[in-house]
Every structure is written in C-alpha cells, then in structure tokens.
C-alpha cells in the first residue's frame, strides 16, 4: 500500500516559484491594467468595454513578459495574440483575465487547455482517494488570473484581485486557487525541518579552568 504524501500544491508553488517572481508579476499586471484603462479613455461608451478588454490583453501581456524577464523566469517572446509563458522550477507560468466570478472563461483558449494537461501528475495531491500512486512531478502549470469587476463603473482601472491558480488536467476545475496577497504570506512560514536548532548547550563549570602553572584541569 502506497504511503500517502504530505506534499501540497501550495508547497510545490512556494518551493518552485520564488517570492520575488510572485510579487513582480502582481505589480506588473496591476500596472498593465492601469495603462490599458488610461489608453482607452475618450473612446465612445458604446464600445468602451471591448476596447478596454483588448487593451488589457496587450498591455498586461507586455508587463507580464517584462516581469518574467526581470526575474529570470525564461519568458517566451511576445507574438500577437500568442500566450506569454515563463518557467521557474517545475512550473510553467501564464496569465489570463476574467470578469469576477466567471472562471470558466479561462477554458476558451485551446492552448491553455493543452498546457493544463501537465497537471495530471499533481492531481493526487488533491484527490488521493482516486489515485493510488504519486510521483514527484517534473512539470506543472500555474496561471496568474486578474479578476475584474463586471462593470467598468466599478474599479475600471485595476483588477479586483489577482490570484494564482492551478487547474486540473481538463481545466474545468481548480486544484489550488488563492489571492496573491494571501499566498505571499506562505513564504514567511518555513517547514519545521528548516527551522534552526534552538538547543543551547552549556559547558560544565569545571571545564576550562586552569591551574596556576597554566595546565587545564
């Protein structure tokens, strides 16, 4: 009988994706969204939501790619509508935008669905009763998801939240999902095995005393 692992997807993310990558991407996506909104100002209200949506895609792709470059996360080049990806540890990183609460929209991209198939290897961490064996994965996929309000009348210039999300192999469910603001706190908690030794050995009082002739007792 296979011994169940104590590994979690959050553990995998913290171990493979450095904090500076997480925080750099969060800042970059917020900046990209702001640039998109200001670039769309002055357009007719009739198609403003469509314009803002398209500009968010391009500006946030650029800012995401720059954040990957700065943090040495192996960014793919920007090419039209192609998905920009990075790589750190076992994780391939990508991004997309949604309207708040409509997470199923992430499946619209065939490329994202194909990428998510790699997560079959980490599904046992969430559904151990369905899988008898777990092997440490060599690759997995995580998305940075910028969630925007459904209406441009509510916080139009920035995401309501930016989350890190790990889909299942079919991208019709989420193995892990958490706002970056909450996820970043995980880096402050080291596993017990990495904590320092708190023991403080004491020498016996007699050790180290010298006689008048300079010899140690």
> What is the dihedral angle through the alpha carbons of 92, 29, 100, 189, rounded to the nearest 10 degrees?
60
Q: pLDDT digit string (tens) for 64-96?
A: 999 999 999 999 999 988 999 999 999 999 999
- In angstroms, the CA 183 to CA 187 distance is 8
Both structure tokens of 54: 């398209």
Closest-CA residue to 48 (of 189, 153, 191): 153
Q: Is 130 exposed, middle or buried (0-12, 13-18, 19+ CB in 10 A)?
A: exposed
Check residues 205 and 137 and name the one with the higher pLDDT: 137
Provide the pLDDT confidence category of residue 185 given band limits of 50, 70 and 90. very high
Contact 162, 147 (CB under 8 A): yes
Q: pLDDT digit string (tens) for 128-153?
A: 655 556 788 899 999 999 999 988 88
Q: Is the pLDDT of residue 60 over 90?
A: yes
Q: pLDDT digit string (tens) for 170-184?
A: 999 999 999 999 999
Q: Which spans in the chain are helix H?
A: 9-16, 19-40, 48-70, 110-116, 180-183
In 10 A of CB 58, how many CB atoms?
16
């Amino acid at each position: 009988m296979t011994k169940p692992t104590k590994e979690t997807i959050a553990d995998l993310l913290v171990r493979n994706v450095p904090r500076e990558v997480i925080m750099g991407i969060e800042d970059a996506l917020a900046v990209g969204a702001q640039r998109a909104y200001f670039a769309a100002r002055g357009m007719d209200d009739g198609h403003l939501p469509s314009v803002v949506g398209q500009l968010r895609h391009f500006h946030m792709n650029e800012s995401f790619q720059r954040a990957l470059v700065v943090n040495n996360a192996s960014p793919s080049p920007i090419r039209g509508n192609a998905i920009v990806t990075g790589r750190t540890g076992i994780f391939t990183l990508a991004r997309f935008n949604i309207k708040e609460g409509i997470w199923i929209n992430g499946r619209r991209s065939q490329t994202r669905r194909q990428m998510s198939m790699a997560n079959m290897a980490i599904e046992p961490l969430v559904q151990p009763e369905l899988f008898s064996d777990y092997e440490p994965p060599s690759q997995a996929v995580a998305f940075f998801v910028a969630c925007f309000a459904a209406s441009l009348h509510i916080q139009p210039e920035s995401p309501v939240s930016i989350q890190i999300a790990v889909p299942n192999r079919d991208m019709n469910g989420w193995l892990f999902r958490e706002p970056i603001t909450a996820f970043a706190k995980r880096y402050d908690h080291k596993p017990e095995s990495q904590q320092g030794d708190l023991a403080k050995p004491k020498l016996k009082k007699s050790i180290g005393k010298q006689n008048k002739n300079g010899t140690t007792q």
